[in-house]
Structures are given as structure tokens and as C-alpha cells.
């Protein structure tokens, strides 16, 4: 949550587990800090990160990157082995 408003915006999807949908989304630089990711209900993305909504239907194993006028989406099989 502390990176909202930074760029680029990254998203990756692991297989859903327990009570999560598998999406990990962050902006700016990645951190290995244990508290880097904070859960957020998908309904709150409409207000906070509306530009990612179009990617949430991607199946596990996909990544996306949004930076200014650049958008990339690709499959990464390593995301399925967690």
C-alpha cells in the first residue's frame, strides 16, 4: 500500500490459495520486507488502482507491467511453481 502512486505498476498471479486470489500488485521498486504486501479487497482497486482492473481476469502464471504509455502482459510458468 505504501507504493501506491509510484510507477511502474507490476502485477503477478500465483495459483489461488486459501483465501487469496493469487494476485500480487505493487508500484515502484520491489522490496523483500515482510510487510511489503498488504491485502486489499478487489473492490477497493476500483478507487485505488483502476488501471489494473482489465488484467484481473488473467489466469495464474501471468504478469503485467504498466508504465506511462507502455503496457506489457506475459506468461511466466515459474509463477505456477510456488
Model confidence band, residue 2 (pLDDT cutoffs 50, 70, 90): low
**Per-residue pLDDT tens digits for 8-64:** 999 999 999 988 899 989 888 887 878 777 777 888 888 888 999 999 999 999 999
pTM as predicted: 0.85
List C-alpha distances in Å: 25 to 49, 58, 70.
Answer: 10, 13, 17
Count each helix (H run) and each strand (E run) in the chain, helices first: 1, 4
Q: Quick check: helix, strand or coil at residue 54?
A: helix
Do the beta carbons of residue 32 and residue 10 sit within 8 Å?
no
How much is the pLDDT for 5? 73
User: Is the pLDDT at 3 greater than 70, yes or no?
Assistant: no
Amino acid at each position: 500500500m505504501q507504493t501506491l502512486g509510484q510507477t511502474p505498476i507490476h502485477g503477478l498471479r500465483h495459483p489461488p490459495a486459501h483465501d487469496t486470489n493469487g494476485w500480487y500488485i505493487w508500484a515502484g521498486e520491489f522490496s523483500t520486507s515482510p510487510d511489503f504486501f498488504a491485502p486489499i479487497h478487489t473492490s477497493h482497486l476500483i478507487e485505488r488502482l483502476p488501471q489494473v482492473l482489465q488484467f484481473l481476469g488473467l489466469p495464474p502464471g501471468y504478469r503485467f507491467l504498466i508504465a506511462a504509455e507502455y503496457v506489457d502482459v506475459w506468461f511466466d510458468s515459474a509463477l505456477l511453481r510456488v
